[in-house]
């Protein structure tokens, strides 16, 4: 009898297993493949390794504008991919030893539920537990498009086996995965065409982010079609032909490319779990339903990570693991707050968001503040002024959401995530010292802009002295980070 049985050894499963073992719980971690999951082997680690190489190629290509004359980079695609695979291997070698050293029993195999207190591994070994965590992850979704499976498309799981660079590629899907891989491969010399069914790329993000990022990608030669409906895919000797229609205009198109990459969402890995045995209704499209405490319909069975079909990010799975550890192991009730989970897309420029930044109606009292990267001294120094930062706040300065498009967006966003998580206001961020010149100047610029709008709304000077700790000079307006102190 184990105190905790975890099904799945990705980031969520590893975190909750290690935490439980650290407080003396008897833990079994069941994994059919290698520990580390999607993030280590086919997502975060290899994709960021590829993006890094592609960024090096871009910097060399544009060195002339900074006064450095170099020849065009010669890209050995086979060596690039070999390095990506070696980086992945370096992350994977010690996971089992590390977990065992922490007191976790790692069991190789596939578990399925037999009863509320029992899972069976590979149909032979019964494992009993007081509490269970399902963390079996997800896999790439293959849309039901005529001819797609016959075209043998690449996915984020299989693309890392490539040794030769394709001349051209069609990417189906313009979410984070599709855009990251598209831009990286384009910078390494692949002709890339993106086809997206939604009206815009990154449809879950702020519309201005989508529009500006699209312009950046198209400026690099990537062709993008949105609001598209794919009719069929045809395999020919000279490549794959994607036949599609622009739903807005009704015009038909066809794209002949050497290879296909599908990045059109995920499907939860639930089919082999025999969830019917424990009264849990789930399917690959929606994942496993859970309550605010990440419990399933079965009280002692929890679920975290991609398998619940919510925020499919490694950092989200880690936060969910912490919540389940407190609920299932410590017995201290804790709710899962999705509102402070950041979203990141590692294109160039980067996209990073948290909370809400659009879609507000007239009944909601909010203020929307925006600063352009061209106002930021560090961006001007480096000649990288594409992008903007936007925050949505209440009249008192409480943060409701933030989005950043630009260099170091994910790092700068973290200050807003912390503020939202801890209930800090913009005027508290204004009173925080930010080193100059850095991209964190965006935070100070937005906070200063908020202070100026308070003046414009008639807040008395005495109130400003109480709220902000100083009395601004008269006539203050929004300023850049390099303006004199208020």
How confident is the model over 75-119, as pLDDT tens digits? Answer: 999 999 999 999 999 887 667 888 989 999 999 999 999 999 999
Which pLDDT band, with edges at 50, 70 and 90, does 467 fall under?
Answer: low
The pLDDT, as a whole number, for residue 454 is 65
Euclidean distance between CA atoms 223 and 244, whole angstroms: 14
Residue pair 372/432 in contact (Cβ under 8 Å)? The answer is no
- The residues near 417 (Cβ < 8 Å, ≥ 6 apart) are 340, 342, 354
Map residue 230 onto helix, strand or coil: strand
Domains along the sequence of the chain with CATH: 4-140+267-339 (3.50.50.60), 149-264 (3.50.50.60), 349-468 (3.30.390.30)
Euclidean distance between CA atoms 388 and 208, whole angstroms: 9
| DSSP assignment letter at 425 | B
Q: Which of 5, 52, 49 is nearest to 31 (CA)?
A: 5
- The residues near 6 (Cβ < 8 Å, ≥ 6 apart) are 13, 16, 17, 27, 28, 29, 30, 132, 133, 135
The pLDDT, as a whole number, for residue 308 is 97
Place of tokens 């599609």: 244
Euclidean distance between CA atoms 279 and 281, whole angstroms: 6
The pLDDT, as a whole number, for residue 358 is 86
N-term to C-term CA, the chain: 64
Beta bridge partners of 170: 193, 260
Map residue 32 onto helix, strand or coil: coil
Quick one: average pLDDT of 242-263?
96
The pLDDT, as a whole number, for residue 452 is 84
Residue 15 CA neighbour count, 13 Å, CB half: 20
Structure tokens at 385: 């002024």
Residue 140 CA neighbour count, 13 Å, CB half: 22
Q: Nearest 5°: phi and psi at 320? A: -60, -40
Beta bridge partners of 241: 234, 256
Euclidean distance between CA atoms 10 and 35, whole angstroms: 6
The pLDDT, as a whole number, for residue 72 is 85
Quick one: average pLDDT of 388-407?
96
Instruction: Please state, in angstroms and as integers, the Cα–Cα distance from residue 100 to each residue in 173, 208, 462, following that order.
Output: 39, 48, 61
Instruction: Check whether 265 has a pLDDT greater than 90.
Output: yes
How would you list the strands of the sheet with 239-246, edge to edge? 228-236, 239-246, 252-257
Q: Which of 151, 160, 155, 245 is nearest to 195 (CA)?
A: 245
Looking at per-residue pLDDT, the higher value among 201 and 362 belongs to: 201
Quick one: average pLDDT of 372-390?
97
- The residues near 476 (Cβ < 8 Å, ≥ 6 apart) are 451, 452, 455, 486
Residue-averaged pLDDT of the chain: 92
Structure tokens at 228: 């598209």
Structure tokens at 159: 């693309």
Chain CA centroid to CA 276, Å:
31
Quick one: average pLDDT of 477-484?
38
- The residues near 347 (Cβ < 8 Å, ≥ 6 apart) are 179, 180, 183, 213, 216, 217
Instruction: Please state, in angstroms and as integers, the Cα–Cα distance from residue 275 to each residue in 129, 291, 320, following that order.
Output: 16, 17, 21
Quick one: average pLDDT of 436-452?
95
Q: Nearest 5°: phi and psi at 20? A: -65, -45
pTM for the model: 0.91
The pLDDT, as a whole number, for residue 92 is 74
Instruction: Check whether 258 has a pLDDT greater than 60.
Output: yes
Helix (H) / strand (E) containing 240 = strand 239-246
The pLDDT, as a whole number, for residue 463 is 56
- Tens of pLDDT, residues 288-300: 999 999 999 999 9
- The residues near 460 (Cβ < 8 Å, ≥ 6 apart) are none
Which pLDDT band, with edges at 50, 70 and 90, does 474 fall under?
Answer: very low
Beta bridge partners of 120: 112, 126
Instruction: Check whether 363 has a pLDDT greater than 90.
Output: no
Lowest mean per-residue pLDDT among 13-22, 231-240, 263-272, 362-371:
362-371
Degrees to nearest 5, angle at CA 179 with 143 and 222: 105
- Tens of pLDDT, residues 1-29: 999 999 999 999 999 999 999 999 999 99
Sign of the Cα pseudo-torsion (369, 375, 378, 382, in order): positive
The pLDDT, as a whole number, for residue 457 is 53
Euclidean distance between CA atoms 354 and 361, whole angstroms: 19
Beta bridge partners of 301: 132
Beta bridge partners of 31: 108
Please give the share of the chain, as a percent, with pLDDT higher than 90.
Answer: 88
- The residues near 279 (Cβ < 8 Å, ≥ 6 apart) are 297, 298
| DSSP assignment letter at 329 | I
Beta bridge partners of 193: 170, 223
């Amino acid at each position: 009898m184990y105190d905790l049985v975890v099904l799945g050894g990705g980031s969520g499963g590893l975190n909750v297993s290690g935490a439980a073992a650290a407080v003396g719980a008897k833990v079994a971690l069941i994994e059919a493949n290698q520990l580390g999951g999607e993030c280590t082997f086919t997502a975060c680690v290899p994709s960021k390794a590829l993006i890094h190489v592609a960024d090096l190629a871009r910097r060399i290509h544009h060195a002339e504008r900074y006064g450095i004359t170099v020849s065009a980079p010669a890209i050995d695609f086979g060596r690039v991919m070999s390095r990506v695979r070696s980086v992945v291997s370096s992350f994977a070698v010690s996971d089992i030893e590390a977990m065992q050293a922490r007191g976790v029993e790692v069991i190789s195999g596939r578990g399925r539920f037999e009863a509320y207190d029992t899972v069976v591994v590979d149909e032979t070994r019964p494992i009993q537990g007081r509490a269970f965590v399902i963390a079996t992850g997800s896999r790439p979704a293959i849309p039901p498009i005529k001819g797609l499976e016959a075209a043998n498309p690449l996915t984020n799981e299989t693309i890392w086996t490539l040794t030769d660079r394709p001349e051209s590629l069609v990417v189906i899907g313009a979410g984070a995965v599709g855009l990251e891989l598209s831009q990286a491969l384009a910078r390494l010399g692949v002709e890339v065409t993106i086809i997206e069914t939604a009206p815009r790329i990154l449809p879950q993000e702020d519309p201005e982010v989508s529009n500006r990022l699209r312009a950046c990608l198209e400026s690099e030669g990537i062709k993008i079609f949105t609001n598209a409906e794919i009719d069929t895919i045809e395999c020919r000797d000279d490549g794959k032909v994607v036949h599609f229609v622009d739903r807005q205009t009704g015009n038909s198109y066809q794209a002949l490319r050497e290879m296909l990459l599908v990045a059109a969402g995920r499907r939860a890995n639930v089919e082999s779990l025999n969830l019917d045995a424990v009264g849990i209704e789930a399917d690959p499209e929606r994942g496993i339903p859970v309550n605010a405490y990440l419990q399933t319909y079965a009280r002692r069975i929890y679920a975290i990570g991609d398998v619940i079909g919510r925020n499919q990010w490694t950092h989200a799975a880690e936060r969910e693991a912490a919540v389940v550890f407190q609920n299932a192991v410590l017995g201290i009730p804790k709710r899962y707050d999705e509102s402070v989970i950041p979203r990141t897309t590692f294109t160039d420029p980067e996209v990073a968001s948290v909370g809400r930044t659009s879609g507000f109606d007239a009944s909601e009292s909010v203020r929307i503040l925006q600063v352009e990267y061209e106002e930021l001294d560090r961006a001007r120094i480096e000649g990288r002024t594409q992008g903007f930062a936007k925050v949505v706040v209440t009249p008192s300065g409480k943060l409701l959401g933030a989005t950043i498009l630009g260099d170091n967006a994910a790092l700068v966003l973290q200050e807003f995530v912390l503020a939202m998580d801890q209930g800090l206001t913009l005027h508290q961020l204004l009173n925080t010292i930010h080193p100059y010149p850095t991209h964190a100047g965006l935070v100070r610029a937005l906070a200063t802009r908020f202070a100026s709008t308070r003046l414009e709304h008639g807040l008395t000077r005495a109130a400003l002295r109480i709220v902000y700790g100083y009395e601004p000079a008269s006539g203050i307006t929004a300023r850049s980070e390099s303006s004199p102190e208020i």
